Homo-oligomer: A and B are copies of this chain.
Amino acid sequence: MSVNPPSLDAPLQVPGFRIGTASCGVKSADLKGKRTDLTMIVADVDCHVAASFTQNRLRAACVDLGEQTVQQHGQNIRAIVANSGNANAGTGVREGEWAQMMITSAAKALRVFPEQVLSASTGVIGTPFPIDRIVEGLEEAASTESDWQAAANAIRTTDTFAKYASRSVGDFTITGISKGSGMIHPNMATMLAFIATDFPINQTELQAVLKRVVNLSFNSISVDGDTSTNDTVYVLSSGLGLGHEAVENTTAFEAALTELCIELAQLIVRDGEGVSKFVTIHVEGASSTDEARHVARCIAVSPLVKTAFAGSDANWGRIIAAAGNAGVAFEAGDISLRCDDVVMMESGNLHADYRDADGMAVFAQAEFSITLNIAMGNASATVWTGDFTHEYITINAEYRT
């Protein structure tokens, strides 16, 4: 089940990057050759990298290693390698050894240094990592010529479609892939996104841009309700032929990267497990953007709200109660609420013209928006979320049984 999965344009090639994929049977040996589960994004030149990692206290070893590499060698990155089918997490000391072996083997196959390789894993937590099959797969992937669509396919776990997007900025290209996740894909919990560009920008600036972009995109879907042990976003910039200092205005680059990441993030929500609705939550009139986003998230993750969405039930009392639960100061007597253009509350009172049937008609749609004004200031934020359906319970309660 997914909500209006768009027919995606083919992703644009990014000059200076090539892709390798393989099918090595990560999840189980008998899947070898049947579905791709290993991907490599390889740069011809040293790239500057920006990264965003899970805030969860329990992080997989590949995340810890990746963070170290970004800090120490973040201007010399040559490759990202990623597998689906096993998160290589929750198994203690061995996971660190396996993660390091994956990187060393990839470096050897690609003839670069291990400190130039970033890795990511996604799949079941707590299952031993099949490092022998991974090493074989890395050798195979290094010798293939694949493409971004294939890469997006190879990082899928329970995703029902491959997720990719591209943007052009002047003569430059940005292409990204994503998978997952989060609250919506709990068992295969990881959200991953890998983005490559030839836009010239140095690491410090790229990291600052990514931080703002992630807040407006991947941190604005209901993933945050349950961060996983492996969530990772990497952006590689090759600056191919022009080096790593900006020769163009980065404003246009940031705008394009924001659009691209919002598109990749929304694709994750549209492909959420069991999701039958795609709902946009706007919170406006807040004292700060952070407070607006926090209230919007509290609405987006509330099981009460998500089941009302699933039932096409305009039970708006649940929405304001979830907002009131956010711990953000506002006055009940001042708030206004509408869904699409139907006003439910105005300045704390039931709107005189509101009819339940009008709200129900909006909630019956596959896509709609909720707008809450908390009348405390001028800041606003938008979050995208799905609903909680029977299929969600089926997938997550019966996954292993």
Q: Spell out A's residues near B (CB within 8 Å).
A: 55-59, 87, 89-94, 124-126, 183, 186-187, 189, 225-229, 302-304, 307-308, 310-313, 315-318, 320-330, 332-333, 335, 345, 347-350, 388-390, 392-394, 396-401
The answer to whether B303 and A226 touch across the interface, beta carbons within 8 angstroms, is yes
The answer to whether A397 and B189 touch across the interface, beta carbons within 8 angstroms, is no
**Which residues of chain B are near A349, meaning CB under 8 Å?**
91-94
Given A187-B315, A316-B126, A348-B92, verify A226-B322 contact (CB < 8 Å): yes
Which of these, B304, B312, B316, B399, contacts A186 with CB under 8 Å?
A: B304
**Which residues of chain B are near A322, meaning CB under 8 Å?**
226
Q: How many Å lie between the Cα of A330 and that of B394 in the bound state? A: 33
The answer to whether A323 and B57 touch across the interface, beta carbons within 8 angstroms, is yes
The answer to whether A125 and B400 touch across the interface, beta carbons within 8 angstroms, is no
**Which residues of chain B are near A327, meaning CB under 8 Å?**
55, 57
Which of these, B321, B330, B394, contacts A228 with CB under 8 Å?
A: B321
The answer to whether B390 and A394 touch across the interface, beta carbons within 8 angstroms, is yes
Residue of B nearest to A64 (CB): B332
Q: How many Å lie between the Cα of A317 and that of B190 in the bound state? A: 12
Given A304-B186, A390-B394, verify A400-B58 contact (CB < 8 Å): no
**Which residues of chain B are near A323, meaning CB under 8 Å?**
57-58
Given A91-B350, A311-B399, A350-B91, verify A56-B325 contact (CB < 8 Å): yes
A116 CB, min distance to chain B CBs, angstroms: 26
**Which residues of chain B are near A397, meaning CB under 8 Å?**
307-308, 310-311, 313, 388-390
A139 CB, min distance to chain B CBs, angstroms: 29
The answer to whether B307 and A186 touch across the interface, beta carbons within 8 angstroms, is yes
The answer to whether B186 and A318 touch across the interface, beta carbons within 8 angstroms, is yes
The answer to whether B226 and A320 touch across the interface, beta carbons within 8 angstroms, is no
A62 CB, min distance to chain B CBs, angstroms: 13
Which of these, B56, B333, B398, contacts A92 with CB under 8 Å?
A: B333
**Which residues of chain B are near A389, meaning CB under 8 Å?**
393, 397
